[in-house]
């Protein structure tokens, strides 16, 4: 059997809002009809231009990770390659991200509006 990745699902308190946040970063279409998922107040999707699908699932008692606190582990994170870290940072902060670590290694760590860590990496 060879499996195919369908999407990456992120738990969050507000699915539509987090889908819109990632749309601002990646482009694409929020809640495009797709036979694989039903859409409602508890489930939202983002079909990106690259073909990746992110899904956002409401969790009533969502507890955001606190990077790098091991008592509140990050659970996972996403890396996004960008040509200009400063320009990309301006955009993600304007979209609602929070800077967690400015780094000096060609990458920076942020939290999305639901607290999930993600990195911008210079490529």
- Are 23 and 46 contacting, i.e. CB atoms less than 8 angstroms apart? yes
- 3 state SS of 21: helix
In a shared domain, residues 54 and 93: no
- Given a cut of 70, whether residue 1 has pLDDT beyond it is no
In a domain, 27, yes or no: yes
In a shared domain, residues 15 and 43: yes
Query: What is the value of pTM for the model shown?
Result: 0.81
Longest dimension (CA), the chain: 44
In a domain, 47, yes or no: yes
- 3 state SS of 58: strand
In a shared domain, residues 47 and 87: no
In a shared domain, residues 54 and 82: no
pLDDT digits (tens, 9 = 90+) for 6-64: 889 999 999 999 999 999 999 999 999 998 888 999 999 999 999 999 999 999 888 88
pLDDT digits (tens, 9 = 90+) for 51-88: 999 999 999 888 888 888 888 777 777 888 899 999 99
In a domain, 65, yes or no: no
| pLDDT score, position 67 | 83
In a domain, 111, yes or no: yes
| pLDDT score, position 72 | 79
Residues 6 or more apart whose CB falls under 8 angstroms from that of 16 comprise 30, 31, 41, 44, 56
The tally of domains found in the chain comes to: 2
CATH of the domain at 94: 3.10.180.10
- Cα separation, 119 vs 77, in Å, equals 8
In a domain, 67, yes or no: no
- Cα separation, 78 vs 12, in Å, equals 15
pLDDT digits (tens, 9 = 90+) for 97-116: 999 999 877 889 999 999 99
In a domain, 1, yes or no: no
Supply the range of the domain harboring residue 20: 8-58
Using the structure block, give the residue that is written with the tokens 């990050």: 74
In a domain, 66, yes or no: no
């Amino acid at each position: 059997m060879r499996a195919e990745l369908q999407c990456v699902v992120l738990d969050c308190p507000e699915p539509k809002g987090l889908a819109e946040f990632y749309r601002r970063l990646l482009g694409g279409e929020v809640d495009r009809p797709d036979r694989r998922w039903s859409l409602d107040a508890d489930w939202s999707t983002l079909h990106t231009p690259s073909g990746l699908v992110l899904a956002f699932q409401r969790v009533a008692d969502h507890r955001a990770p606190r990077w790098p606190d091991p008592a509140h582990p990050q659970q996972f994170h996403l890396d996004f390659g960008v040509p200009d870290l400063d320009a990309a940072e301006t955009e993600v902060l304007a979209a609602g991200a929070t800077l967690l670590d400015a780094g000096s290694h060609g990458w920076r760590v942020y939290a999305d509006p639901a607290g999930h860590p993600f990195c911008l990496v210079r490529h």
